Amino acid sequence: MKTALITGCSSGYGLETARYFHAQGWNVVATMRSPREDLLPRSQRLSVVALDVTRPDSIAAALEAAGPIDVLVNNAGIGVVGAFEATPMATVREVFETNTFGVMAMTQAVLPQFRARRSGVVVNVTSSVTLARMPLAAAYTASKAAIEGFTGSLAFELEAFDVLVKLVEPGYGPTTAFTQNGGARMQGLIPEAYAPFAERVFAGFAQPGAVTTEADVAQTVWRAANDATGQLRFPAGADALALAQSR
């Protein structure tokens, strides 16, 4: 029976992915900064573990608690929406610490066991902002685009050890807590000069066409984790699929 460690499982895509892998009969290590046992089914095949991907000591403790794993799903992330001109560099660095350096640190921590065993899969969850230009998302896009480049290069260098690295690119998920979780971080990031432009952008967000659901992402992560075809990128959600096909 295989084991997946999934980061960022307190809500949204991570929570649904943990549920989905468990439903497929896998062992699941669901990690969260503030663990909540009530979010997931009680099961001998599922454990909830504390993890802050920005802290090396937390990463080490979580991996020790998890034991050997077969798949790492780097899903944990934070968002920021606003005019880049008004975005403090401290906020940009905060976003990169989780979305970019946290992913890299988690990956680096599991590679020794994957390489020694000559098996293992790393699935990095990015975003459809890497598939097309998105307004008011410059810092967030940069943090995710960095992981796209990182993943492609890493996949190439790990081929010799039979370790696979995949990208899952979710679209816009209005039912997730993305905006709610980043509310405080996004305060004051629309200066008056940008207000007319931002109003048009937010009006578009309020009336989306195709969107991405939590189930879309969970199922796509599952496909990526079990893929043996050599495919690197897996768009998730109708909107992300449309963007990927139009490139």
The answer to whether residue 140 is catalytic is: yes
What are the backbone dihedrals phi and psi of residue 46, each rounded to the nearest 5 degrees, phi first? -135, 130
- Choosing from 20, 140, 172, 194, the catalytic residue is 140
**Active site residue ranges:** 140
